[in-house]
Amino acid sequence: MDEKKPSTADILAKIRAQKAAAAASSETPAPAAPAPESAAPVPAAEAPVAPAAAPKPAAPAAKPGSTKDILAAIRAKGAGGAAATPAAAEAAPATTPAKPASPAASAGPRPSVQDMLKAVREGKVGAAPAAAAPAAGAAKSAVAAPAMPAKPASATSKKAPSPQRRSLAVLLVVACTSLGCFIGSALTGSVLLFLAGMLVWSLLMTPFMAAFASLAEVGGLWTLHTARFMMPNVLVEPPSKFKVGPLSDYPLNTVSNKWKDQYGVWIVHTDQYEGQNLIFALASVCTHLGCTPSWLDGEQKFKCPCHGSGFYITGVNFEGPAPRPLERMGLKIAEGMLEVDKSMKFQEEMGQWTDPASFVAVS
Ligand code: FES
């Protein structure tokens, strides 16, 4: 009386054996005929005879029915009589040796296969009855999420600093050097400076970056040259008016070379021009072809080194190819000082030496 209820595996094995027996037999529903009570000691091959026929005798003959129906019928039968239990227990090892009967199966009502499958599908494996544990475990292992792949070594290991990477200071130095070359090239128009800047810049660049930087630099230089073209050309010259000192600095019948190199004029104090005691400024430009004559104090004349033209202390030409006298600049007294105005020129052959602006009379 203390016998256990058949497990699902036992029931399934019994059903399979019953089906096999039915297939082997004739068309007549033979399993339904024998009495169920005498099936207790029957071996596994004859086991389906007793339990299957009692609750649902017509089912195997007409239609075997679903597994669910058969299981329900067998359970109903198993609950009433224990005659089928030994047979099922014997049949179980033959069909499903890997599934031993669970000790917890006798503790309460057994769950159906659908319940077990539902529990497995819903993931409630832990809450399922003990009898469903093996199947649920198998299903769980089947639906378990795949293990996360290990991180690649490249993702876990830190990137080693690239040998191409250069420090900011080096980049700044190179950038400033190349920029200086480019600015110098733009200001002076030197192609060599431009090429040097390109070479320095491209040394630290990849070919693509060097090409792109060159394109940008050419565009920048083009812009600079355009901006320079839009600006007016300013010629920086010394002022046209300048003070050369008081009258007392220039004795009579002397020629001062003090301002020759800086302003290109001689300051002459003489009384040999028409008997007048005058101070005037002579341009140090030969009237032949523009060479710069020299004052020869011993010979008291200006002598041009190019073609030998000679001029008196008054500036009047007397030898050589020079066609006319030297030119005078404007001269006046301003704030007690002699002030030369190079913007004014006076030519003797045109009668302009008589202009008071061309000399300062000394009394
Ligand atoms: Fe002075 Fe020819 S340039 S003599």
Closest ligand 1 atom to 304 CA: 1
Whether 321 lines ligand 1, by a CB cut-off of 6 Å, is yes
Give the separation between CA 53 and CA 14, rounded to whole angstroms: 13
Q: Distance from the CA of 291 to the center of ligand 1, in angstroms?
A: 6
Kindly list the distances between the CA atom of residue 29 and the CA atoms of 22, 44, 76, in Å, as whole numbers in the listed order: 7, 19, 21
When comparing pLDDT for 16 and 136, which is higher? 16
pLDDT of residue 68: 78
Residue located nearest, by CA, to atom 3 of ligand 1: 289
Q: From the alpha carbon of 320, which atom of ligand 1 is closest?
A: 4
Regarding the beta carbon of 307 and ligand 1, being less than 6 Å apart is answered yes
**What is the average pLDDT across 55-72?**
59
Q: What is the value of pTM for the model shown?
A: 0.41
In the three-class reduction of DSSP (H, G, I as helix; E, B as strand; rest coil), residue 354 is classed as helix
pLDDT digits (tens, 9 = 90+) for 227-261: 988 888 888 777 889 999 999 999 999 999 999 99
Q: Provide CATH code, domain 241-361.
A: 2.102.10.10
Instruction: Return the SS3 of 20.
Output: helix
Q: What single DSSP character describes residue 166?
A: -
How far is 4 from 25, CA to CA, in rounded Å? Answer: 31
> What CA–CA distance (Å, rounded) separates 33 from 63?
16
CB 22 within 8 A of CB 60: yes
**pLDDT 10s digits, 70-104:** 778 777 766 554 444 444 444 444 444 444 444 44
Q: Which of 295, 303, 307 to mutate to test the pocket of ligand 1 (most atoms within 8 A of CB)?
A: 307
Which of ligand 1's atoms lies nearest the C-alpha of 293? 1
In the numeric block, which tokens belong to residue 171?
A: 């980049």
CA-CA distance, 338 to 350, in Å (whole number)?
25
- C-alpha 137: how far from chain center: 53
Q: Where are the alpha helices (DSSP H) in 234-303?
A: 260-263
Q: Provide mean pLDDT across the span 255-273.
A: 93
**Ligand 1 lined by 245 (C-beta under 6 Å):** no
Is the pLDDT at 62 greater than 80? The verdict is no
Which atom of ligand 1 lies closest to the CA of 322?
4
Which of 301, 302, 306, 324 to mutate for ligand 1's pocket (most ligand atoms within 8 Å of CB)? 306
How far is the CA of 322 from the CAs of 263, 280, 285, 286, 328, in angstroms? 22, 20, 11, 7, 16
Q: How far apart are CA 203 and CA 214, in angstroms?
A: 12
Question: Could you tell me the residue ranges of all domains in the chain?
Answer: 8-95, 169-217, 241-361
pLDDT of residue 264: 93
Find the range with the poorest average confidence among 67-81, 111-125, 128-142, 224-238.
128-142
Beta-sheet pairing, 337-346 with 328-334: antiparallel
| Helix (H) or strand (E) run with residue 282 in it | strand 276-283
For CA atoms 179, 180, 182, 186, the dihedral sign is positive
Name the H helices within the chain.
8-24, 49-53, 58-62, 67-80, 84-95, 113-121, 133-143, 153-156, 168-188, 191-203, 207-230, 260-263
356: Cα within 13 Å, side-chain hemisphere: 3
